[in-house]
Copies of this chain bind each other. A is one copy, B any other.
Amino acid sequence: MKSDDMSSGIDRRALVSGLALLPALSGTLLSASAQAQTTSDVLASWNDGLAKQVIIDFVRATTEQGRPTYVPPEDRIATFDQDGTLWVEHPIYSQVVYCLDRVPAVVEQDPRLKDVEPFKTVLSGNREAIAKLSLHDLEKILFATLTGMSVEDFESEAKKWLTSAKHARWSRPYTELIYQPMVEVMQYLRSNGFKTYIVTGGGQDFVRVYSQQVYGIPPEQVVGTAGATKYGYQKDGKPFLTKEPKLLLNDNDAGKPEGIHLMIGRRPRVAFGNSTGDREMLEYTGAGNGARLMMLVLHDDAKREYAYGPAQGLPDTKVGAFTQELFDEAKKAGWIVVSMKNDWKRIFKFDQNT
């Protein structure tokens, strides 16, 4: 393993302790395969280093017949947080931008909202004021823009937005701002018989609109924050489902393992996240027997993407915080902390620096 590829910015002990997650692998085996595989074409957007190596070793350990760590195909479940783990979440979650963009249409349908907060502030276009909206205000906007329509109408609106809206920094659709190294991890796992799931705090229905096309993950493998729907009939007798303002699953924090149990019904073998909202998912994954792989993406690359923590002295944030407490837990539990700056050769598919 080339140690000069390793991060100097983040605590190397956290990375090294990650080896603890493969207790059944003998030291000999690990170093032998490390030498053999760091030059592999697999995970081409990853720099050689511990993070890449642990992923490759984990896949070998769980898929090669006869290994004590072998996992039968039906148990190969891998879960991935989305915002900040699979795609850009800064300066603000894409779905929140969608909801803010939808406010004018909602007000047009119900003009009384024009002078009612928080809709009034959103309509003003005053970015500073919008950024200061409370969580409660934000919830009002989410309910107003994500519920009260048929599931088909929602899908068609979201699709339209996704093809037209662009991230201000890159002037590209949000769906292009996915992390190429993570796409490769998902492909690599799938090609080794793992079923990949998104487990997101974002809206389940929202992510399902593009998950197949963008990540190769079908809608039924997206677990997210989910509301109730209500079955009813149109005037012509045709049945349809209406999105109701009733929360069934808040798929953040403890809601992630709860959502995994509800929607998947088995404990993952692999879990990737990037923030405190993923802590319980990684804990739950790690609490199972046998080989498990838990990883956290640390945004420490302001040049190519963003830098935020507040772990390791990185700037604090309200969007996708990675606290020092989480960093310490990762270190203790043997979860691998991935440095975007050091572990990823490129961030996006459109990056030229490969």
Residues in chain A within 8 A of chain B (CB atoms): 74, 77, 151, 195, 204-205, 208, 212, 218-220, 222, 226, 228-231, 238-241, 248-249, 254, 257-258, 261-266, 280, 283-284, 287
Contacts and interface: CB of A to CB of B under 8 A. Distances in A.
What is the oligomeric copy number? 2
A168 B263 CA distance: 34
B231 A287 contact: no
Contacts of A231: 254, 257-258, 280, 284
A219 B262 contact: no
Contacts of A262: 204, 226, 229, 248
A22 B218 CA distance: 27
Nearest to A208: B265
Nearest to A221: B220
Contacts of A284: 231, 239, 241
A265 B283 CA distance: 27
A241 B257 CA distance: 8
A17 B238 CA distance: 19
Contacts of A241: 257-258, 261, 284
Nearest to A234: B287
A220 B261 CA distance: 9
Contacts of A151: 261
Contacts of A238: 287
A226 B77 CA distance: 21
A251 to B, nearest CB: 12
Contacts of A264: 219-220
B220 A287 contact: no
**Ranked 3 nearest A-B pairs via Cβ:** A219-B265, A231-B254, A220-B264
5 contacts: A151-B261, A220-B263, A229-B262, A231-B257, A239-B283
Contact of A219 (B239, B254, B266, B283): B266
A205 to B, nearest CB: 7
